[in-house]
Structure 1
Amino acid sequence: MLQFSFKHIINKVRGGIVSPLALNRMGILGMNARNINYIARYNDREKFPIVDDKLNTKRAAKRAGIPVPELIAAFETPASRKRVMEVIDPLWKFVIKPARGSGGKGILVIAGREGEKYKKISGSQIEALDILRHVNNIHSGLYSLGGKPDRVMVEALVDFDPIFQDYSFEGVPDIRVIVFRGYPVMAMLRCSTHSSDGKANLHQGAVGVGIDLATGKSCHAVQRGLRIQRHPDTQMSFGELKVPGWYDLVRLAASCYEMTGLGYLGCDIVLDRERGPLLLEANARPGLAIQVANGVGLRQRLRFIEGLDEEMHEKKVDERVAFSMREFAAEKTL
């Protein structure tokens, strides 16, 4: 499989623009190609609401038997927000998020209580008034796609698997899996850092770790586009990283094809200590940074799946997962 480095891409830059021909030769899928050849072609826009609204996603997942973080309450009208404090009063840990938020915006994670104060995952404290203000902002559409009025979700805080405790700074790491026509084609682990303010956002300084589809082992790691070997805050080597319960996690991602009806999607999954893999959200327009995290372009893998005969596109979930694990195994792991 053709591999590349971020430095290799930079060397191709002329006047701030990377030649589409150069990207194509490296097997990198660009934004225009993704939008035209995959999102527009394989994603029915009528099905976008299933993934654009996290409340819809959660309900669809439960109908499909796909495990998700526990939904404690949902407030769908401004009038109902008066009950927020009543609902969270007995809770020690919880998450408040907008149903139609994007890019991780508007997510408030409460990791504990101290008297009348609520402790954020960063250790800072807020008061009830701050929570109500946050809820009002969500309802007003401050974080939603298109700025439209939104619904508020209160979820149980995931008790993430301790295997990741040395690979993340404050935040909960998640695994992004790209699924094309039901076949998992690429995966990465996103690890928060001090510079990313505890958020698993690669553009804000989080670490992207490419994960071998065959084994769940790390095969490549980058921060801000540069390859690294250790977590910048904990100094833990990524060479020792292996995601537990890997088959079940990849199978969950592949199952989202039937759940959503979308041909090209990204599935964000977290590992709970007791429950195992849980679907956090699905995305009809997944970003392309996963290619840098893996050091491998998506283009060849997507074309390979497109070239399969019709019989292969009628395979069951387990058959598709086994096929992807075999065909898209990493050439080497860390």
Structure 2
Amino acid sequence: MWLLEKYTSPFKLAQLGIMGMNQRNVSYIGRYNPRSLYPLVDNKLKTKRIAVDAGVTVPKLIGTIQHQHEVTKIAEMVKDWPGFCIKPARGSGGKGILVIMRHADGLYYKPNGSGCTANDLERHITNILAGLFSLGGKPDFVLVEDLIQFDDVFDGYSYEGVPDTRVIIFKGFPVMAMMRLSTASSDGKANLHQGAVGVGICLRTGKALRAVQYNAPMRYHPDTGRDLYELQVPHWEKLLNLSAACYEMSGLGYIGTDIVLDKKRGPLLLELNARPGLSIQIANGAGLLPRLRKVEKMTESEIKKMSVAERVKFAMDNFGVF
């Protein structure tokens, strides 16, 4: 398998089918994603609602906080939930997400073991409402969700955080996938820009292809020492079917789907992204363009005749590595 880091010239990158940001924005996001549908994915509560209506499984919603006078309700809202997650409805890149693993005697414990008070939670929620973490800095509101209990199969692959699987869906076809694994440097968040590890995943088998951190290749998790090349995602075909179904659910032609595996509920849709990043190509050691163009060669009538399962089978057969 070739490595992207060996090829630095624009000519070589084009030869290898690497898609750049301008091409993504104009030829795919601009062409296939109607702007009128962006609010469905930029607002996590709207995404959750359309997912539930479409029969797509999502993390349980504990409640919402939309106004400053509701901030003090947080302790009462979560008192019967052992763990929970506070997140901005319009946040991006994992910013503003606060995960609480457990609470006792008035203290709320984060994944790193540090405790915070109800006042700390209220202060964080106030910052979310003020738009500190939202797209464009606009006033926001808060989602409080049940804590995801990630599948034990991922023990050691992620550090103090829930690993997720990003799948790029184009016209209903999965075209590329990676897992994002949190690290100490990413503060327990599965965000590659903050230092999480990206692991390219074979679309046919769900097995790891290669791994990177800060765009540099690696093999072992920097905090746990786990061999990342041994990773294999369970329920792989079911996960791809859930991701591919988001095409009909959202109406968007080019999207990133973020899926988590709960050990009791299986694959859950965490969120959708109408502007998915391009680092997935580095994690996979492959360019998106050849796969996107293969789908573009199909007629609309051909695609409409295919079920979700048939589109997933096409992707596994044509874009799998081993």
Q: What TM bracket, shorter-length normalisation?
A: over 0.9
Whether the aligned pair in 2 keeps the contact of 1:23 and 1:30 (CA below 8 Å) is: no
Query: Which residue in 2 is equivalent to 1:128?
Result: 118
Letter in 2 for 1:164: F
Query: Which residue in 2 is equivalent to 1:16?
Result: none
Deviation of 1:115 after TM superposition, in Å, equals 1.4
- Deviation track 1:80-99 (CA, whole Å, cap 9, x = no partner) reads 33422221223221001010
Query: Which residue in 1 is equivalent to 2:5?
Result: 7
Q: How does 1:46-57 map to 2 (within 5 A)?
A: 46-57=36-47
Letter in 2 for 1:46: S
Give the distance between the partners of 1:215 and 1:159, measured in 2 at CA.
24
Give the distance between the partners of 2:115 and 2:129, measured in 1 at CA.
23
| 1:170 counterpart (160, 168, 172) | 160
| 1:194 counterpart (184, 194, 197) | 184
Letter in 1 for 2:301: E
| 1:320 counterpart (306, 311, 322) | 311
Query: Which residue in 2 is equivalent to 1:15?
Result: none
Query: Which residue in 2 is equivalent to 1:311?
Result: 301
Q: How does 1:157-236 map to 2 (within 5 A)?
A: 157-236=147-226
Q: Secondary structure at the match of 1:227?
A: strand
Matched, 1:76 2:74: no
Query: Which residue in 2 is equivalent to 1:296?
Result: 286
Whether the aligned pair in 2 keeps the contact of 1:6 and 1:226 (CA below 8 Å) is: no
RMSD: 1.2
Give the distance between the partners of 1:215 and 1:7, measured in 2 at CA.
25
Give the distance between the partners of 1:84 and 1:204, measured in 2 at CA.
28
Q: Secondary structure at the match of 1:130?
A: helix
Q: Secondary structure at the match of 1:297?
A: coil
Query: Which residue in 2 is equivalent to 1:280?
Result: 270
Deviation of 1:285 after TM superposition, in Å, equals 0.2
TM-score (structure 1 length as normaliser): 0.93
Q: Secondary structure at the match of 2:101?
A: strand
Q: How does 1:91-102 map to 2 (within 5 A)?
A: 91-102=81-92
Whether the aligned pair in 2 keeps the contact of 1:98 and 1:151 (CA below 8 Å) is: yes
Q: Secondary structure at the match of 1:175?
A: strand
- Deviation track 1:99-151 (CA, whole Å, cap 9, x = no partner) reads 00011011000001231111001111111100000111111111111111111
Letter in 1 for 2:5: K
Letter in 1 for 2:108: Y
Query: Which residue in 2 is equivalent to 1:59?
Result: 49
Whether the aligned pair in 2 keeps the contact of 1:144 and 1:150 (CA below 8 Å) is: yes
- Deviation track 1:241-297 (CA, whole Å, cap 9, x = no partner) reads 111100100000000000000000000000000100000000000000000000000
- Deviation track 1:145-185 (CA, whole Å, cap 9, x = no partner) reads 11111111100000000111110111110000000000000
Query: Which residue in 1 is equivalent to 2:320?
Result: 329
Matched, 1:113 2:103: yes
Letter in 2 for 1:113: H
Letter in 2 for 1:276: G
Whether the aligned pair in 1 keeps the contact of 2:4 and 2:286 (CA below 8 Å) is: no
Moved more, 89-98 or 168-177: 89-98
Whether the aligned pair in 2 keeps the contact of 1:28 and 1:296 (CA below 8 Å) is: yes
Runs (5+) with no aligned partner, structure 2: none
Give the distance between the partners of 1:115 and 1:310, measured in 2 at CA.
59
TM-score (structure 2 length as normaliser): 0.97
Letter in 2 for 1:9: Y
Whether the aligned pair in 2 keeps the contact of 1:55 and 1:99 (CA below 8 Å) is: yes
Deviation of 1:231 after TM superposition, in Å, equals 1.4
Whether the aligned pair in 2 keeps the contact of 1:6 and 1:225 (CA below 8 Å) is: no
Give the distance between the partners of 2:244 and 2:81, measured in 1 at CA.
33
Give the distance between the partners of 1:283 and 1:51, measured in 2 at CA.
6
Moved more, 86-95 or 38-47: 86-95
Aligned residues: 321
